[in-house]
Structure 1
Amino acid sequence: MTVNSSTPAGGTLDVLLGNYPHTRVLRDGTIPVEGAECRFLSASPLHSAFPRMAGGLEFDVCEMPVATYLLARDAGVPLTLLPAVLIGATHHHSLTRLPDGPELDVRRLAGHRIGVRSYGQTTGLWVRGILREDYGVEASDVTWVTTEDAHVASYVNPPNVERSTAGGVAALLRAGDVAAAVLGPRAIGVQGVPLVPVIKDADHAAQAWTERHGTVPANHLLVVRDDVLRTRRDEVTALFRALARGIDATAGERDLASPAGRAVTAGWSDSLARCLEIAARYALEQKLVRTPVDLARIQKDAAFLEG
């Protein structure tokens, strides 16, 4: 926990963020949050904080995956999106298999079992959208085997989702319970299994996707509790602007030629609008949300940051 103090107006903001170059400069005070006192909190693993925010509104401001935010919004959780992308990446390489297992034709995955940490996981949202859009495989054509529940407790999985208690997603692969698994770029290297992408030439396919859509898939955004926003808007604005400065100041620590490097941004942009539109469409197609997402309202709710 780190406190960054500079002329607070209404007590301390509890802020839960992951550990990245653009957040470390706020934690250590290199970039002060002018006009707000912030208590920067941590969670290990980071994703353990997301159900605490979505279910109990435990923090004032919190990093949150795109899919979790869409689920929470659909469930009526009083959160407002702040337009900052903390991490993002392409995900054609996130559908993986064991290197010594049989090769899979990505266009013929119907009827297969695929492991994913949660049906509501953001990497899974992007992978299923890619499968439908690029390869003609519907989410409902696959049995999705999960090892965790969604971050929003009220969400009910579709009937083609099974819950396993056999261990992590890599364990499902090793046991032969699934033919492939959704493992994001941060997870693949720590699973103890040298996995390979199911999609051949995944980097080229991902580049084609980003060029076609004019955006990079966001994984984690930022949200604020509605009651905090109502009563402490100036402090929330101060925090957001400090984060934007942090993102700019640490640009040299990211590979801006890579999708992951380009994804980290603060502020509304055409790229972010397209990203959210695609994620919202994928979520509706996959039955993660029940009704179309009002993107104009989401942007309007955070318009105060444009001043």
Structure 2
Amino acid sequence: MSGTHPAAPLTVLLGDYPHTRPLRDGTVPVDGVDCRYPESSPLPPAFARMVRELAYDICELPMATYLMARDAGVPVTLLPAVLVGSTHHRSLTRLPGAPELAPGDLAGRRVGVRAYGQTTGLWVRGWLQEEYGVMSSDVTWVTTEDVHVAQYANPPYVERSRADRVGDLLRSGDVSAAVLGPKAIGGQGAGLVPLVADAESAGLAWAERHGTVPANHLLVVRDDVLRTRPDAVLAFFRALRTSIAETAGERDDSPAGRAVAAGWSTSLTNCLEIAGRYAQEQALIGEPVNVAAIEKPTAFLEEERR
């Protein structure tokens, strides 16, 4: 006697945010699909597992990691969702007791960053070149971790340190400034001073000028899963969109609050175009980013809304 076998669960790696908790705890179900949400704390090791081992069906992934993985031919497709984003002019810091240092003074200096492929670093180096004329190759970037994408080799102006944390590089005097993401700013970066005098206003001006908020974490799906189970991917994406909409009241009108969104939009395409340009300028990727080609495989996710 023949029968149909139930579809395998989708393994979905998501960080713990107000807009993902309803999915993770089942408050917002995924229609007709059994989703499993494995834990990873901290998240970065899971990002490496995704781009090196394809460890999950759907996975949160940093912008820079996604662009580098795509450039390296890793078989993942972007799903149009921003899970984490913010402006990053406050992410370039120095010790409070150190001599004042302007962003334009960094050429020829050493700057700490967790990994050269870290997304916060991508955005910081982008505005450094755009607004202050300091190119990535003008600085020695001192890192405490390797990049997620195994195929990538750091350029010669990147140096690996034995230090455990970026903040330690700054406090030991090994670097003049440090790039620290939003969570690190409140942890190991507590008390550090942004190099940009009015960082919040500068970040808002960047967002206004570019018509987008820098995205840090996006979402990808394995190509084979998208090809063989498009209905399951669509069901998950619908549930994610519902979860984001139903938690809108928990986000404010700050750039971080506005960044969270699901669906293709002018803001998202602008963000990808700018991040792609920055990534190529910084030698994170070799080929220009074609946003239309990125969008095409998931256009069906939006068809029901047209």
TM-score grouping bracket, smaller chain normalisation: over 0.9
Equivalent residue runs for 1:47-62 within 5 Å: 47-62=44-59
Please list the CA deviations of residues 177-208 of structure 1 after superposition, one character each: whole Å capped at 9, or x if unmatched.
00010001111111164111011101111111
Contact 1:71/1:152 (CA < 8 Å) preserved in 2?
A: yes
Q: CA deviation at 1:126?
A: 0.1
Q: CA deviation at 1:13?
A: 0.2
1:175 matched to 2:172? The reply is yes
Secondary structure of residue in 2 paired with 1:120: coil
Contact 2:180/2:189 (CA < 8 Å) preserved in 1?
A: no
TM-score, L = length of structure 2: 0.96
Tell me the number of residue pairs that the alignment of Structure 1 and Structure 2 aligns.
Answer: 299
| Number of the residue aligned with 1:3 | none
1:259 matched to 2:275? The reply is no
Q: 2: CA distance between counterparts of 1:68 and 1:151?
A: 7
AA partner of residue 210 (structure 2): H
| Number of the residue aligned with 1:240 | 237
Equivalent residue runs for 1:12-23 within 5 Å: 12-23=9-20
1:269 matched to 2:265? The reply is yes
Equivalent residue for 1:141, pick from 138, 150, 153: 138
User: Superposition RMSD on alpha carbons, in Å?
Assistant: 1.0
Q: 2: CA distance between counterparts of 1:22 and 1:227?
A: 27
Residues 207/235 of structure 1: CA separation in 2 closer, same or farther (3 Å cut): same
Contact 1:98/1:193 (CA < 8 Å) preserved in 2?
A: no
Please list the CA deviations of residues 87-143 of structure 1 after superposition, one character each: whole Å capped at 9, or x if unmatched.
000000000111111110211210010000000000000000010001111111000
| Number of the residue aligned with 2:100 | 103
1:33 matched to 2:30? The reply is yes
Q: 2: CA distance between counterparts of 1:132 and 1:180?
A: 16
Secondary structure of residue in 1 paired with 2:285: coil
Q: 2: CA distance between counterparts of 1:192 and 1:160?
A: 24
Q: CA deviation at 1:247?
A: 0.4
AA partner of residue 131 (structure 1): L
Q: 2: CA distance between counterparts of 1:166 and 1:186?
A: 19
Q: 2: CA distance between counterparts of 1:167 and 1:81?
A: 31
| Number of the residue aligned with 2:288 | 292
Secondary structure of residue in 2 paired with 1:21: coil
Secondary structure of residue in 2 paired with 1:302: helix
Contact 2:213/2:267 (CA < 8 Å) preserved in 1?
A: yes
Q: 2: CA distance between counterparts of 1:96 and 1:51?
A: 26
AA partner of residue 215 (structure 1): T
Residues 116/68 of structure 1: CA separation in 2 closer, same or farther (3 Å cut): same
Secondary structure of residue in 2 paired with 1:36: coil
Please list the CA deviations of residues 14-44 of structure 1 after superposition, one character each: whole Å capped at 9, or x if unmatched.
0000000111001111111112110011201
Contact 2:143/2:159 (CA < 8 Å) preserved in 1?
A: yes
Q: 1: CA distance between counterparts of 2:241 and 2:179?
A: 31
| Number of the residue aligned with 1:219 | 216
